[in-house]
Protein backbone atom coordinates (compact mmCIF):
# COMPACT_ATOMS: atom_id res chain seq x y z
CA UNK A 1 0.00 0.00 0.00
CA UNK A 2 1.05 3.58 -0.63
CA UNK A 3 2.65 5.21 2.40
CA UNK A 4 2.13 8.85 1.50
CA UNK A 5 -0.88 11.08 2.10
CA UNK A 6 -2.06 13.65 -0.43
CA UNK A 7 -5.21 15.76 -0.73
CA UNK A 8 -7.55 14.19 -3.28
CA UNK A 9 -7.99 17.35 -5.32
CA UNK A 10 -6.76 20.91 -5.74
CA UNK A 11 -7.59 23.84 -7.99
CA UNK A 12 -5.24 26.42 -9.39
CA UNK A 13 -5.66 29.45 -11.64
CA UNK A 14 -3.63 29.51 -14.81
CA UNK A 15 -0.40 31.45 -14.38
CA UNK A 16 -0.36 31.04 -10.62
CA UNK A 17 1.91 28.74 -8.65
CA UNK A 18 0.50 25.35 -7.78
CA UNK A 19 1.70 24.01 -4.44
CA UNK A 20 0.95 20.33 -3.93
CA UNK A 21 1.56 18.96 -0.43
CA UNK A 22 2.49 15.44 0.57
CA UNK A 23 2.95 13.76 3.93
CA UNK A 24 5.42 10.89 4.21
CA UNK A 25 5.89 10.59 7.96
CA UNK A 26 7.21 7.00 7.82
CA UNK A 27 9.91 7.63 5.24
CA UNK A 28 13.17 5.85 5.98
CA UNK A 29 16.69 7.20 5.60
CA UNK A 30 17.42 5.61 2.23
CA UNK A 31 14.09 6.43 0.63
CA UNK A 32 13.66 9.26 -1.83
CA UNK A 33 10.56 11.34 -2.44
CA UNK A 34 9.48 11.01 -6.07
CA UNK A 35 6.81 13.00 -7.88
CA UNK A 36 5.08 11.77 -11.00
CA UNK A 37 2.03 12.96 -12.85
CA UNK A 38 -0.43 11.30 -15.17
CA UNK A 39 -2.27 13.30 -17.78
CA UNK A 40 -5.53 11.64 -18.73
CA UNK A 41 -4.67 8.02 -19.63
CA UNK A 42 -1.08 8.61 -20.69
CA UNK A 43 1.82 6.87 -18.98
CA UNK A 44 2.95 8.46 -15.70
CA UNK A 45 5.54 11.15 -16.27
CA UNK A 46 8.51 11.64 -13.97
CA UNK A 47 8.70 15.18 -12.55
CA UNK A 48 11.35 15.38 -9.85
CA UNK A 49 12.79 13.56 -6.87
CA UNK A 50 14.87 14.34 -3.80
CA UNK A 51 16.38 12.84 -0.68
CA UNK A 52 16.68 15.69 1.82
CA UNK A 53 17.72 18.80 -0.07
CA UNK A 54 15.39 20.99 -2.04
CA UNK A 55 15.52 20.30 -5.77
CA UNK A 56 14.61 22.26 -8.87
CA UNK A 57 14.45 21.33 -12.51
CA UNK A 58 12.83 22.71 -15.62
CA UNK A 59 9.44 21.37 -14.62
CA UNK A 60 9.11 22.02 -10.91
CA UNK A 61 10.64 22.60 -7.49
CA UNK A 62 10.57 20.16 -4.60
CA UNK A 63 10.71 21.45 -1.05
CA UNK A 64 11.40 18.80 1.61
CA UNK A 65 11.05 19.65 5.29
CA UNK A 66 14.08 19.24 7.50
CA UNK A 67 12.59 16.22 9.29
CA UNK A 68 11.71 14.75 5.84
CA UNK A 69 8.18 13.97 6.95
CA UNK A 70 6.55 16.12 4.33
CA UNK A 71 7.24 17.83 1.05
CA UNK A 72 5.68 20.26 -1.41
CA UNK A 73 5.82 20.14 -5.17
CA UNK A 74 5.72 23.60 -6.72
CA UNK A 75 4.73 24.26 -10.33
CA UNK A 76 5.74 27.92 -10.57
CA UNK A 77 3.42 29.02 -13.37
CA UNK A 78 0.67 26.49 -13.88
CA UNK A 79 -0.84 26.11 -17.34
CA UNK A 80 -3.91 24.24 -18.54
CA UNK A 81 -1.60 21.44 -19.68
CA UNK A 82 -0.58 20.86 -16.06
CA UNK A 83 -4.05 19.49 -15.28
CA UNK A 84 -3.29 15.93 -14.19
CA UNK A 85 -3.15 13.50 -11.29
CA UNK A 86 0.01 14.09 -9.26
CA UNK A 87 1.55 11.26 -7.29
CA UNK A 88 3.97 11.61 -4.39
CA UNK A 89 5.84 8.37 -3.67
CA UNK A 90 8.50 7.43 -1.14
CA UNK A 91 10.79 4.88 -2.67
CA UNK A 92 14.26 3.39 -2.73
CA UNK A 93 16.04 4.24 -5.96
CA UNK A 94 15.63 1.56 -8.60
CA UNK A 95 12.77 -0.29 -6.96
CA UNK A 96 9.16 -0.47 -8.04
CA UNK A 97 7.00 2.55 -7.32
CA UNK A 98 3.86 1.95 -5.30
CA UNK A 99 1.22 4.45 -6.38
CA UNK A 100 -1.52 5.82 -4.18
CA UNK A 101 -4.52 7.80 -5.35
CA UNK A 102 -2.60 11.06 -5.82
CA UNK A 103 -3.93 14.60 -6.09
CA UNK A 104 -6.06 15.65 -9.04
CA UNK A 105 -4.90 19.14 -9.96
CA UNK A 106 -7.31 21.19 -12.03
CA UNK A 107 -5.89 24.30 -13.66
CA UNK A 108 -8.46 26.72 -14.99
CA UNK A 109 -8.27 29.94 -16.97
The site for other proteins (CB under 8 A) is made up of 32, 34, 38, 41-46, 49, 51, 87, 93-101
CB of 17 or CB of 93, closer to other proteins: 93
CB of 46 or CB of 54, closer to other proteins: 46
| Least spacing, CB of residue 30 vs other proteins, in Å | 9
Give exposure, 65-80, as e/b (b: 16+ Cβ within 10 Å): eeebebbbbbbeebee
| Least spacing, CB of residue 31 vs other proteins, in Å | 11
- Residue 80 has φ and ψ, to the nearest 5°, of -60, -30
CB of 56 or CB of 108, closer to other proteins: 56
Query: Which residue stretches of the chain are H helix?
Result: none
| Least spacing, CB of residue 41 vs other proteins, in Å | 6
Q: Which of 15, 18, 21 is nearest to 33 (CA)?
A: 21
Amino acid sequence: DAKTTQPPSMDCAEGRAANLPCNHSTISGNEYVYWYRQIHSQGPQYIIHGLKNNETNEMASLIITEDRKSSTLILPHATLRDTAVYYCIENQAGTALIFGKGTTLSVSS
